[in-house]
Structure 1
Amino acid sequence: MGHTATAQDATGGLSATEHRLANGLRVVLSEDHLTPVAAVCLWYDVGSRHEVKGRTGLAHLFEHLMFQGSASVPGNGHFELVQGAGGSLNGTTSFERTNYFETMPAHQLELALWLEADRMGSLLTALDEESMENQRDVVKNERRQRYDNVPYGTAFERLTALAYPEGHPYHHTPIGSMADLDAASLEDARNFFRTYYAPNNAVLSVVGDIDPELTLAWIEKYFGSIPSHDGKQPPRDGSLPETMGGQLREEIAEDVPARALMAAYRLPHDGTRECDAADLALTVLGGGESSRLHNRLVRRDQTAVAAGFGLLRLAGAPSLGWLDVKTSGGVDVPRIEAAVDEELARFAAEGPTAEEMERAQAQLEREWLDRLGTVAGRADELCRYAVLFGDPQLALTAVGRVLDVTAEEVQAVAAARLRPDNRAVLVYEPLAQGADGDPEETDAAEAAAGQHDDTEKAAQ
């Protein structure tokens, strides 16, 4: 067994220890004896950014195949064993990673570890044409149900294609295209698995009511004999200029319940102080009912029924600020757009008030603490920081970094980035005006999180 390290977050008392097996698997453990449960989270360093042209959607297809049975667990056995033991489970795919997770009663932890190790070590022996065909159809059906056949369902895909140029590793989204899913062969899938589903390309975190020594012994027992693999190429460079240098625009006439304005602004990479400042800016501007855009468009002008701004954090490419406004009645989009630009220009000129800053920081702090306060949320964040930034301990100090950002930094990132010449815009025009009232909620915002949950839409 390799090195072991430990650290503790002075503010919250949360701590984590790090270990590495001889085959390269990184392990992060965090004890929490508040409730008798344990979360297992496994991040593989592979997402849609690792895919090549003509084979998009393989990362997401593989997430499905991982639930199709392995050498010792045929068919739907993974679900049956976890749920039969009182646990819950899921898997998601993003631009930058694929993750699998279980939350178990603490005395069933060994079962979850064995299951994850079995499919990491032996999925190839169970992967055949039948399971491949089966899951190809499931993914295509998911695409129809959640993207192609719902109002605004393809918005995220369209905006991503606008915001990241052709040939950029983030130009396509994790769901993949129908044509590429049809073109993927069993041999493509096997090569993909060999390359990316190796222990040295993964981080395993276990959080909760655990005995660290016993847990580590189980991990060594079940994962230790899985061979490493050295064939992985680094993802293609995702860097771009700080701003788009002009506005990109697409107008769509579709069967949607109301006109809509959506936009993606190019923002700083995740893991930077500037990205935290951008998060605070978007929170002040569009994070909930106390935000400036909600107050202006929904409350004051009554031109919109919903107005929000969210941040899609990305480490390997510029992040995206995601604006989503659903209009009220027959209001024209140019009127909404002018009001949005006016609010953004005012914010860039004046910055946030002290009260807005305090409220936004409190809001993000609460979201972070809620996430770190659950065993599953903490396990996921420890994996995220280990995979994307090389250091799981950064998860435990993230709150402090948000609280350290100044109003001047928030104003600066807004002035530099939240401008008309740094956005991709999508305008929806209904084919036939529907009834007044709230537009139907769709998965566009969930897709903006860059992930696709395949068992029980549990978006983080």
Structure 2
Amino acid sequence: MAQGFTISEHTLANGLRVVLSEDHLTPVAAVCLWYDVGSRHEVEGRTGLAHLFEHLMFQGSAQVSGNGHFELVQAAGGSLNGTTSFERTNYFETMPAHQLELALWLEADRMGSLLAALDQESLDNQRAVVKNERRQRYDNVPYGTAFERLTAMAFPDGHPYHHTPIGSMEDLDAATLGDAQDFFRTYYAPNNAVLAVVGDIHPEQTFAWVEKYFGSIPAHDGKRPPRDGATIVRPADAPMREHVVAEVPSRAVMQAYPLPLDGTRQADAADLALTILGSGESSRLYNRLVRHDRSAVTAGFGLLRLAGAPSLGWLDSKTSGEATVEAVEAAIDEELARFAAEGPTAAELERAQAQIEREWLDRLDTVGGRADELCRYAVLFGDPKLADTALARVLGVTAEEIQAVAQKYLTPDNRAVLTYEPSVTAQDSEGQIDEDEEVQA
């Protein structure tokens, strides 16, 4: 890679893609396994299965019972977890280098034999865990369902990205053991996965271990249903605005803008535009709403990159004092229109590119972050080596390209809008609501 990291690729006979990157700076190794399955692959009535399976993958396999995966990794001095998104599910361990073989064996054992341990008891147990996670992170915290609401408006009913990975309570309750078994057989196969190993490794020995533990796992020989959402077909009556009265500390204006697909130059331009407009206290929206107007206490604008559907620009502003959502929304519109008319200044472009460069290099500085990016580019774009040139592409975007994206996409007719109004109860108890910690797998 651009920072001096090497990449080698192999593909097993069963279709598992393997990406190795050798780096002897520190005596650790990261294992990252991406499965090409996320909430976009779920069907109506069975939302939340991809995320539920993330939890089930830690509940035992043929050779590892119960919580053994966690216990073995942590006893060896490693760390681990898993996450689920619209487009993928990933599992990862960072281990002392001499414990790398253990991590590979553990991942192979659950890829090849999870169904041997998956029963009704483990399904019911993790179903309860996921439902509790939904309550703690979404249903019972201020603004907790905001992203879910905005996504449902941005992607109309029937679109594969219409629902978020957490799923609905009703669908989680409806999921059967047979549903879970079918889901695993369809998506948890070596020919639907990419394995990246990064760090203090010897590539030949590492690949030999991968071949030893993963090579005998059979490929999935059926077809997986396509779930591409690049095109949005919006019914004329599809709602694009929602007002919520709820127990929240203050009024809020949140917006979601469909933007270019990840992997395109326009997506990089959109990333820079949103960084200039809403990332940090030097951004345009923060300066306007928080510093100048004093109508908001927060103002941010970030990009959720999506490869199989339009990326989403997520704007979030919480009002200050008696400021109205109408006043805040009008100020947002003025700032976006001014940016589209004028484009970024040279200083703004330089600052935004430096910020993205710093964030990217910080990510690649860890073996876990680097392994995750190699998997991402392999699964979503077909080539892990694209991670090598990702930063150069962002740094090559011009002010004119950023302005063109703003003019085309950051407009009032290309967004979903969600506003919040505190209920009387919330106003009486303002300051007493605490957001819960994130529940991990």
Is the TM-score greater than 0.5? yes
Deviation at 1:396?
1.6
Contact 1:269 1:318 in 2 (8 A): yes
Specify the alignment match of 1:340 in structure 2: 332
1:32 positional shift: 1.0
Structure 1 counterpart of 2:360: 368
Distance 2:188 2:309 in 1: 23
Q: Does 1:63 find its partner at 2:54?
A: yes
**1:23 equivalent in alignment to 2:14:** yes
Structure 1 residue identity aligned to 2:15? G
Partner AA of 1:57 in structure 2: G
Q: Is the 1:152–1:442 contact (alpha carbons within 8 Å) kept by the matching residues of 2?
A: no
Following superposition, the deviation at residue 435 of structure 1 comes to 7.3
What is the correspondence of 1:266-305 to structure 2 with a 5 Å cutoff? 266-305=258-297
Q: For the Cα contact (< 8 Å) 1:326–1:439, is it kept in 2?
A: no
Preserved CA contact (<8 Å) 1:113 1:222: yes
SS at match of 2:302: strand
Q: 1:183/1:206 Cα in 2 relative to 1: closer, same or farther (>3 Å)?
A: same
Per the TM alignment, residue 142 of structure 1 is displaced from its structure 2 partner at its CA by 0.5
TM-score, scaled relative to structure 2 = 0.96
Q: Which amino acid in 1 is paired with 2:178?
A: E
| Equivalent residue, structure 1, for 2:405 | 413
| 2:379 aligned to which of 366, 383, 387 | 387
- 2:242 aligned partner: 250
Aligned partners of 1:430 and 1:79: how far apart in 2? Answer: 42
Residues 136 and 310 (structure 1 numbering): CA distance in 2 closer, same or farther, change over 3 Å?
A: same
Match of 1:320 in 2: 312
Q: Distance in 1 between matches of 2:258 and 2:87?
A: 17
Q: Is the 8 A contact 2:138 2:145 kept in 1?
A: yes
Q: CA deviation at 1:244?
A: 10
Specify the code of the residue in structure 1 equivalent to 2:171: D
- Corresponding residue of 1:458: none
Alignment of 1:163-242 (within 5 A): 163-240=154-231
How many equivalent residue pairs? 439
Query: 1:144 aligns to what?
Result: 135
Q: CA deviation at 1:453?
A: 6.4
Contact residue 247 and residue 422 of structure 1 kept, 8 A:
no
Q: Secondary structure at the match of 1:12?
A: coil
Q: What is the CA RMSD across the aligned residues, in angstroms?
A: 1.9
Q: How far apart are the structure 2 equivalents of 1:230 and 1:76?
A: 31
Give how far 1:234 is off.
3.7
Q: CA deviation at 1:263?
A: 0.4
- Aligned counterpart, 1:132: 123
1:347-366 equivalent positions in 2, closer than 5 A: 347-366=339-358
Per-residue deviation, 1:164: 0.2
1:92 partnered with 2:83: yes
Aligned residue in 1 for 2:98: 107
- CA distance 1:279–1:243, shift in 2 (3 Å): farther
Q: Runs ≥4 in structure 1, deviation > 4 angstroms?
A: 241-247, 435-443
Percent identical: 77
Q: Does 1:454 align with 2:416?
A: no
Residue identity in the other structure for 1:112: A
Deviates more, 1:345-354 or 1:238-247: 238-247
Amino acid corresponding to residue 196 of structure 2 in structure 1:
S
Give the residue type in structure 2 aligned to 1:412.
Answer: A
Q: Residue type matched to 1:454 in 2?
A: Q
CA pair 441-274 structure 1, distance change in 2 beyond 3 A? farther
Structure 1 length normalisation: TM-score? 0.92
* Structure 1 contact 247–425 (Cα < 8 Å) conserved: no
Structure 2, unaligned stretches of length 5 or more?
Answer: none
* Gap regions ≥5 residues in structure 1: 1-8, 447-451, 456-460
Could you tell me which amino acid in structure 2 is paired with residue 76 of structure 1? N
